[in-house]
């Protein structure tokens, strides 16, 4: 269970391990040239996104979480450090992070690292989309990503929203109620909802959003 008031500390671990099992075989069999393809992250190739993901997770595993560790400047430095690494070394580090970071996140009391696990899953979608693979921002991990999004949207103080997802069995409740303002309403695919909150391109999507703007719903700014 993972709601605004009750945190499931092992939810990030389940998301990371599920994504590991789905993503790593794809990465291992993809030709190396494909990792130079550009992603939805401005300025970053698939290889650089994965280097960032690997670095972030292993920092959590090793407890190297100094102030400012996940700010853009620190992320860029981590990616630059890995520019000379063979691709296989980056993928090995990423697989280690997917496997070992979840239990460390579960041990934290404040849950602040939960959003990192969600971000890793979103980045996996960025890579899938760059490769032209199906399942970007959905797939097996979605059942864990949506409740994590619910918690993260509240922590990041986005306005309340009720999401009606025809491809999911139930509605989702995100964000925080604001006095005098009714909850926003979203109707569309779950993957599109993820794209909105993560600030990913919405080209070729179809959805209805009333009572809030896409900018207000961003959790990664």
110 pLDDT band, cuts 50/70/90, is confident
pLDDT above 50 (res 1): no
pLDDT above 60 (res 137): yes
pLDDT above 70 (res 2): no
**CA nearest 34: which of 43, 23, 46?**
46
Provide mean pLDDT across the span 95-122: 96
28 pLDDT band, cuts 50/70/90, is very high
pLDDT digits (tens, 9 = 90+) for 71-84: 999 999 999 999 99
56 pLDDT band, cuts 50/70/90, is very high
Please give the C-alpha separations between residue 78 and each of 18, 41, 57, 94, 101, in angstroms, as whole numbers.
25, 16, 11, 13, 17
pLDDT above 80 (res 3): no
Burial of 29 (0-12, 13-18, 19+ CB in 10 A): exposed
Measured between alpha carbons, how far is 119 from 219 in angstroms, rounded to an integer?
Answer: 10
Q: Yes or no: say if 137 and 122 are a contact pair by the CB < 8 Å rule.
A: yes
pLDDT of residue 169: 86
Strands (E), the chain: 161-164, 172-174, 184-188, 207-210
pLDDT of residue 4: 47
Cα four-point dihedral sign 14, 19, 22, 25? negative
For a pLDDT cut of 70, what percent of the chain falls above it? 98
pLDDT above 80 (res 6): no
Provide mean pLDDT across the span 198-206: 97
pLDDT of residue 134: 94
């Amino acid at each position: 269970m993972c709601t605004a008031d009750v945190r499931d500390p092992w939810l990030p671990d389940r998301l990371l391990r599920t994504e590991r099992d789905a993503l790593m075989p794809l990465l291992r069999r993809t030709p190396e040239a494909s990792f130079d393809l550009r992603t939805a992250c401005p300025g970053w190739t698939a290889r650089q996104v994965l280097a960032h993901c690997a670095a972030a997770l292993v920092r959590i595993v090793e407890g190297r979480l100094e102030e400012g560790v996940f700010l853009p400047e620190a992320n860029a430095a981590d990616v630059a450090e890995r520019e000379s690494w063979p691709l296989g070394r980056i993928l090995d580090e990423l697989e280690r992070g997917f496997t070992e970071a979840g239990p460390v996140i579960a041990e934290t009391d404040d849950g602040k690292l939960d959003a990192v696990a969600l971000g890793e899953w979103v980045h996996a979608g960025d890579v899938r989309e760059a490769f032209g693979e199906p399942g970007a921002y959905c797939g097996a991990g979605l059942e864990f990503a949506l409740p994590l999004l619910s918690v993260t949207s509240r922590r990041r103080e986005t306005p309340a929203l009720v999401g009606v997802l025809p491809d999911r069995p139930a509605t989702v409740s995100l964000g925080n109620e604001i006095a005098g303002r009714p909850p926003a309403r979203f109707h569309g695919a779950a993957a599109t909802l993820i794209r909105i909150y993560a600030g990913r391109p919405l080209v070729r999507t179809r959805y209805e959003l009333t009572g809030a703007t896409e900018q207000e719903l961003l959790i990664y700014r």
